[in-house]
Structure 1
Amino acid sequence: MQHAGPKSFLWSLQAVVALVFTLIVLAISGALIGFNHHQLTKLTVRDAEDDFQRITNSVRDEIAGSMRIAGSVLDTASLTIDPELPSEQLAKLLTSVLKDLDRVLPAAMGLFVGRGDGSHVVIQSLNGKWPVEIGTDIDRAAFAFMIVEDGEAGHTARWIVTDENGQVLRRVPPRPTTFDPRRRPWYGPSLSSSGMIVTPPYRFANVPEVGITLARQARLKAGAVFGIDMTLASLDFYLDKLRIPPELELLVFDKSGVLIAHPRGGTYRSERQAAQEGKFLTVDDTGSPLLSGMFRAFQQNQDNQGRSVSFSVGGDEYFGRTERVGEGIDNLFVGLAIPYETMVGPVQQIRSGLLIISAASVLLALLIVLFASRRLALPLRNATEDIRRIMKFEFGHARRAQSRVVEVQELSGAIDTLEIALSNFMRYVPNALVRRIIGRKFSSDLGGKRQPVTVLFSDVAGFTTMAEGLDPEEVMAKTSRYFSELGSELVRSGATIDKYIGDSIMAFWNAPDEREDYVAIACLGALRASRRLDRLNAEFMAEDGSPMRTRFGMHTGDAVVGNVGSADRVNYTVLGHTVNMASRLEKLNKRYGTTILVSEDVCAAAGKDYLFRFVDRTVPEGAHHPMALYELLGSVRPDEPEVAPFPERVDTLDIWKAVCANCETGDWHSASELLEKLVAIAPDDMLFRVYLERCRANLGSLQAT
């Protein structure tokens, strides 16, 4: 007789899988919960350090942004404003600059020019800080001018008070003064520097305010210095906005303990001012044990700047940090502190909820991942590939299959919208600029930097007359066709097209992408555009239309390159004397009958591959000294045969050089004979006729005498 053995316990596959999966989930959940429990306090400290760093960076960015804006204004002023203008005329000009500056930089308190003879013109905004010299009770007062001049009895200072519209409200007669801009902390360093200098914090001469001065020497007159006074007290309001939570304490101070900024800085200064007039407010003067404790912690840990420290004040533990502001103001420091209790108090409340949330989240996440991963993986990979292609500016793709997942479908729609928006955006903004924006190599902040560029202006001769004979639709179609042909050649040659102005184009090279041969490629771009227009004009004439004969002007030199505009709309452009000269040269083409007129700087920097002929030596409008002008005839590069100089121009060069030599020595008779020969050879070359008339006029003057 056989006995049945013990009955085996059977497990279903579903139960086994469920048990194993449950054990895995519980193991993962337990590990995560245990790890979170152990690391929570450490992470809280790390979060506090990150917040400290964010606040410190915000303060730095606020100061740096203000300095960039002020620096851009100084660059432009030093390039465009003549410091030798009469004092009151210069004061009115500086007032308009200060008005614009006040809108974007409230910290700017004054704008001035100090001259080498000791004279000084300063424009100061009357925003609650009035110089004692002008008195009080002046309704509608907005600006005060201090003009320091040299008289028979020495230096005198007079004051003029105006309203917002420039109307004079009060004049204070000249009084003897010891103020001399040459003894101010910004004058000497500005003259010994080629760029902008920033002074350490100091007390301003006219108002009881602590601030810094940004200054740089004038480019139009040696010995003159432009400067902007910036008060640091405006940081008080900015620090107050950063004070979250309210238990957070933060301040800006210098190494000696002078309080520069604090959320309650204005109150501290007003309480201290009556008793301690003429002295800086120190951290200890505030009467705050915490602020004094923060400064003592800084003194004890100066070698550990940028690291978090713990310190005790009145039996309470605090977590703090001190960092140098930098950005050209190395003597200023940002200090932060928060009570330990405030920092880690919520930890206990979070911990209990985290135990439940972590376990539930892990279980739910695993279930969702198992169910959705297969369906989401493929469309997400396709979306990633599409985005990668768009970031490479490769537009156009095969139509994707529709997903049943709403988010994936919306993502596909968003990618399509991104592609359309970016492709259209590149038609309004230069491609090089868009690539730098997408690559995070470009800032849209207002301001710019000084760098060498080559600038080109073009203009269509007789455009107004042509446009009057056509319908507006025809003018638009023809102009668009013209700009498309001309612009494509300029962009192909590395140009950044700044703007289309009616029938004109402004373009520049060496920004935003810099390269050493920017002058040479600018010449190549102008030649390519000119030859392309020759072919286009032949098409216009074959279509019974009038040609669009175009003249070009080019100049190279330093300019301010960057963003100009307002907070909601900016234009990437170039400003300065170089731009003005390029525009003037374009207009001079009409005088000489030339096509591509360039400055001697362009001729010298273009290189041996380009052929020029001398045109004239003259003083263009807006310039102060004579400038040699040249016509760009073509390029002798073997890889660019279409831009080779025209043979009729090359054949006359030797005789033309002889003409120029005779004109230089005053041999008008020999020059006239050679010019008559040139006019017979090339009757369409207006330059020869211009010089022939000049020689005949000079011969007539000699015979008359």
Structure 2
Amino acid sequence: MIWIKMKKTYSIRSVILTLMISEVFVAIIVTGFLWYSNGKSAVDTLSRNLSAEIELRIEERIIAVLDSAKLHASNQANVFAKKLITIGSNDQKDLTLGYQKGVLDQYPQITTLFTCSPQGELFGLQRSKSGGYLELESEAGKPGLREILPDGKAIFIDDFNATERPWYKESMAKQRAGWTPVYHFPGVPQLGMTSYEVIEGQNGVELISGCDLTLGPLNQFLSELNTSEHSEIVLLDDEGALVASSALDSFTEVKATENEGVSYKRVLGVNSQAPIIRQAVDHLTRLHGGAPSRWADKGTVEMDSEDGGIYISWLTINLDEEERWVSLLAIPRSDLTMEVSQRTRYTAIAFLILILITIPLVWRTAEGITRPVMELNQGLDLISQFKITDSDMGQNFRPSRLRELNEMQSRMHSMRHALTSFEKYVPSRVVRKLVTEDKVAVPGMEEAKACIFFSDIVGFTNVAETLDPDQLVKLGGEYLEGMSQQIHQHGGILDKFIGDAIMAFWIAELDGKRVTSKACHTALLSQQSLKVLREDWLKRDLPALRARIGLHTGPVRVGNIGSSSRLNYTILGDSVNLASRLEGINKIYGTEIITSGEVQEIAGNEFHFRKLDQVAVKGRRKGGAIYELVCLSESATQHQIEIAQIHESALDEYIAGNFDVAMNTFRKLQDLDPEDKPSKLLIDRCEQLVAQPPEEWNGVISLDRNIKDNG
């Protein structure tokens, strides 16, 4: 053995000191990161839970408020419907007013309770600005409204017409109970809506019972619900107009001419006084491509902003079959992470202090390790010089309290004693078909058309190395059971298990269309059953197996092959090899199911395919198109269809030799789906072909190497 002395070496003390301080720094960084990320995760969870709780409270409050108006509109209608008060009876007006006053006294959010005939004769009670009540009367067929003040004086409003009110038009048109859209109450700086109920007689609507409800209390309720200092909550209608707002800005004054006075206009969410609401509504509008009527029923998103980001949560609240609102909560990200950031800073300061305290301790620890090592080094140096007497060694060796070093010291002293002594001497499947046909199996094969199915587990070698044999057998059995069931359920013949691989086939009776369809169904359902199995495996801490599948329909030789004592019912032919190769090249394209062009040509109308490439697999000189089997045609999403169309368009340019155009088109796919491996693969290939143009080009790439799963 040749010993080489290193030119550059390091002292143990400096190495230990460097390593220990580095470990402390790394621990601090990792701990700080985990603290912050866990805190951020906790904040995200808290935000979701808090927003869900707030949305539930908002929904409950809205339903409670609206139900009160709906209830009393209905109750008043029942009073007249059951003849407790006679419709149109002047003698019973006091009884009607008494009932209406009792309702208004009990429910401050209700401003008006009234009845109206189909001819426009209105009678009701309205809460006045001064705190009392106004009697409302209008005559049938005549415009105008008489307001009778508490002192008996009357005011006549000549521009009022009951038959032009929103509640009248909707109730007469629908002839059933309902709500008007939100509108501004005339003469009052408040938004509201009307709940109406109809009493039907022999000739249609006999009476309309209405209840006006102001939405002002909802503004106050939302302002009291604010979750943080800068958060805001609003209610929006389907068109994006504010119904209620914690910023109290659901409508604005519009000054016309001096004679006309002041009118009021509803405010859109994108024009809210609260900047965070403007940004949130604008973001969701762009995200969903329109007003709240086009938004998802509920959801949460985060958006970037100049102030660091906004957490947005929204929920749809259905008032009836036609009317709905959206509650929207917007919280600045800084409000949520403020405490986490502050605690992270405090933690960093604490760790910095800890480092300053740790350095002397680390120095002392390094000293405790290096001192005996240096003494051992000195002793070994003396022994190497054969200076082994007590006078040579001296008396400065102090035993170490570290076990390993103490044992090394003991071994060195034993070696010295041995050398001292030594110095004195020397100077220094198929069975079912046979039963049905009542045949005896004999060797022989015949020509047929078949769809061949090959599948293989992704990364099975690594799985086999990490599991004990019992677990591996059980896991493999569950996988093979799930795949086999799909093959059997769709009439396939399970040929053999080749380790973790499965070979199956369907023999065509006519043109191969039905068996190809069955094989495609089997492939898709096999992947779906594997998805269910993976969820169960993960719960049991087992590897989540994935499979790749290859399908090809073509001519084969089918029958019994073997000896007189042992036969195997199987298929042979180039089609079998091609199906096996197609299964293997899934790994190249990052896909789960690859089929030949023959499969796509037969089943293209029933299933959604994506043309991947033009290849010549090993063993075949002639190339052909290969396809990814995605899903049933009826289940294909617009995104999947768009991906397939763009990919095929790019592939046409690629086959034509227009590599630059093809590459740019493939890059559009990467913009749509950055994780799409086929387009990335073809981009790389186009770049190579642009850099080194082929002398002859037919659009076919040769895959002439074995395809193995190393992962």
TM-score by length of 2: 0.38
Q: Which has the larger radius of gyration?
A: 2
